[in-house]
Structure 1
Amino acid sequence: MEKLLEVKDLCVSFGTHGGEVQAVRGISFDLYKGETLAIVGESGSGKSVASQTIMKLIPMPPGKITNGEILFDGDDLVKKTDKQMEKVRGKDISMIFQDPMTSLNPTMKIGPQIMEVLKKHQKLSGSVAKERTIELLRLVGIPMPEKRINQYAHEFSGGMRQRAMIAIALAANPRLLIADEPTTALDVTIQSQILELIKDLQQKIGMSVIFITHDLGVVANVADRVAVMYAGQIVEVGTVDEIFYDPRHPYTWGLLASMPSLDMTDKAELLDIPGTPPDLTNPPKGDAFAPRNRYALAIDFEEEPPMFQVSETHYAKTWLLHPDAPKVELPEQVKRRVRKLAASFDKPVLAEGEA
């Protein structure tokens, strides 16, 4: 497969009154053409900062890229000026944000907001831009698009607003779509529809997708590969099957064990990860997850682990994969949760006769 995006040793920090927050600490990953990569982790893990840095949307200052490369089709975006990035944003790379109400312009009708992108990047105007706008609204599943183009964001439901945001993001036929927690503010039913919509549109258009979320469950049927982030670093990356059925990092175990499923009968089955993420104004020595890791080794508190290769597509940043480390099996709680989650993926939200 051909690479579309290569992020190499990316470091991003923010200057604050309390010190310099090292939000992203040396992450590297690739994205292939037509692929969906999910980046998951707790709030504050650095996943949104990483995704927004790709489009150079972080405010600079206080933010700054202190190291690394972001190669998009071989072109380093880090070296581009804001003026040069204007030709990339929306046209080659688009983004869907978490809350469409803060992203859509409340003073403009939905139609003109989409046509604005078509005029800037596709050089369309007049009736052609209007027809294309109607096509896009129909493509993302908004009923009566001829009527909706003349409505404002407050006249749309939450799900429809998010669909309108997707229409804006797709207007210029981007090669990369970044979806930053696009379903967090939606109810479960609409969440499922939006996930299926993104998956369906990706297959139709052939674009690559980076999906940002704190919930492993929502990416199970969407992503091809998953990167797990903790304390500004990628601690595990692999295919969906490798991350769900053969996780190797204790943090990934914790995320899996804390995920609810539809058929949970015992609240005790749902586990949490003890402690809190570290203060990134002063990152800890060694493995940042060590204080919360019940399987931590002495070396975890002294030396940062490298990325160990598990397979051609699977890597994990934990000393437990060192040849001399004691053997630690996947915790039984995690095995039970994965089995239940796998079973729940194939079940409808409402059983037959309940609707």
Structure 2
Amino acid sequence: MARDKSKTLIDVKDLRVSFDTYAGEVQAVRGVSFYVNKGEAVAIVGESGCGKSVTAQSTMQLIPMPPGRIKDGQVMFNGKDLTKLTDKQMESIRGSEISMIFQDPMTSLNPTMKVGKQIMEGLIKHQRLSKAEAKKKAIEMLDVVGIPNPEKRVEQYPHEFSGGMRQRAMIAIALSCDPKLLIADEPTTALDVTIQAQILDLMKDLQRDFDTAIILITHDLGVVADIAQRVVVMYAGLVIESGTLDEIFYNGQHPYTWGLMRSIPKVNTDEKERLVPIEGTPPDLFSPPKGCPFAARCKYAMPICKEQMPEKTYLSEDHYVKCWLQHEMAPDVENPIKKGRE
């Protein structure tokens, strides 16, 4: 279906972010564009170092500047370009309208402050609640995220919580001011599978009950399948494919997307099949290649792939890919994902 821009909550356009180091400029994000609608969950996937976390943190101006800097692009949120706002203006948006769950709750929570007080901070600052009102809301939030005995837990420190409970506490902090957008950066990486499933169920409940939009940063495609409606595939600081969940999982068109899909173990089949790794390493972003960044690792690469970056090819109104295999003069290549599902 056609994109309804009236439903768009955040629209990232041609975002470029670099880090200046003693060895030179690291071009971490090189023209990323994507959007998230109100109440929608969008996953940004790719291997470590592809720029997905930097993209998410840049939208909230959370990257250290310097050495980081937003070179170009727009992050439009409710009619405002967040890249043009001052630190003070961003403070009024962070926590109240956009919140973030970080990868490691033990390093994100303040170990010297009680968990309840950390939830109360945002409520007092953004919603102007009294301490008594903020404490009452903090207890409610701990209860919402499934922490038992919230009246007792609100007075405890992070080290008294288990890993799963710390992540729930982080979610309580992020959701305490009813944000319109929740950015979850690898929210389940450090958790065992049982707690991981509980956290994902909690995020789905919150999306449904509060109509919260979610940007999910992950390399775990099982997590993506469980929660996302659309998927953005990143590689070497670029978006190389984007589409709905079904389009990416069942009709992905970029060889890198194929590689990601073929690395997922199949649990619903009696066939014994080896996982297929993606050979090679990502390119050096001190000096990115001028052509397709995946060309050096792609068994389908043609001479033009190393010389020129392909343009977007739209396969539907929601699905596009940047790959020379889509060109009319390219050889026919059988999609290994489709073949594996036949």
Q: Place the TM-score, normalised by the shorter chain, in its bin.
A: over 0.9
List alignment gaps of at least 5 residues for structure 1: 340-355
User: 2:20, 2:273 → 1: CA distance?
Assistant: 41
Aligned 8 A contact 2:19 2:26 in 1: yes
Q: Which residue of 1 aligns with 2:171?
A: 166
Q: How many residues align?
A: 337
- Please identify runs of 4+ aligned residues in structure 1 that moved more than 4 A: 263-268
Please, which of 210, 228, 235 is the counterpart of residue 230 of structure 1? 235
2: distance between equivalents of 1:50 and 1:83? Answer: 21
Q: Structure 2 matches for 1:330-341, cutoff 5 A?
A: 330-331=335-336, 335-336=339-340
Q: What is aligned with 1:41?
A: 46
TM-score (norm 2): 0.96
Q: Which 5+ residue runs of structure 2 have no aligned equivalent?
A: none
The answer on whether the counterparts of 2:124 and 2:131 sit within 8 Å (CA) in structure 1 is no
Tell me the percent identity: 63
Counterpart residue number, 2:81: 76
State the match for 2:184 in structure 1: 179
Letter in 2 for 1:168: I
Kindly state the Cα deviation for residue 47 of structure 1 after the two structures are TM-superposed. Answer: 0.1
Provide the secondary structure at the position in 1 that maps to 2:174.
helix
Amino acid of the residue matched to residue 103 of structure 1?
A: S
Q: Does residue 16 in structure 1 map to residue 8 in structure 2?
A: no
Cα distance in structure 2, aligned partners of 1:124 and 1:261? 50
Match of 2:131 among 95, 106, 126: 126
User: Which deviations, in whole Å up to 9, do the C-alpha atoms of 1:108-133 show, x marking residues without a partner?
Assistant: 11111101111011111132111111
Does 2:111 match 1:106? Answer: yes
Q: Which amino acid aligns with 1:213?
A: T
Shift of 1:217: 1.6
Alignment partner for residue 96 of structure 2, among 91, 98, 123?
91
CA displacement, residues 84-112 of structure 1 (integer Å, 9 cap, x when unaligned): 11011001100000000000010111111
The answer for the alignment partner of 1:328 in structure 2 is 333
Distance 2:225 2:180 in 1: 23
| CA RMSD after TM alignment | 1.4
Q: Deviations over 1:30-54 (max 9, x none)?
A: 1111111000000000000000000
Q: CA deviation at 1:21?
A: 0.3
Q: Distance in 2 between matches of 1:292 and 1:194?
A: 35
Letter in 2 for 1:101: M
| Contact in 1 for aligned 2:233/2:257 (Cα 8 Å) | yes
**Quick check: 1:66 aligned with 2:71?**
yes
Which of 252, 258, 281 is matched with 1:253 structurally? 258
The verdict on how the C-alpha distance between 1:265 and 1:60 changes in structure 2, with shifts beyond 3 A counting, is farther
Within a 5 Å distance, the mapping from 1:277-288 to structure 2 comes to 277-288=282-293
Counterparts of 2:191 and 2:20 in 1: how far apart (Å)?
33
Hey, what's the Cα distance between the residues in 2 that align with 1:335 and 1:46?
30
Partner deviation per Cα, 1:135-177 (whole Å, 9 max, x = no partner): 1001001111011001110111100000000000001110000
- Alignment TM-score, normalising by the size of structure 1: 0.92
Q: CA deviation at 1:335?
A: 4.3
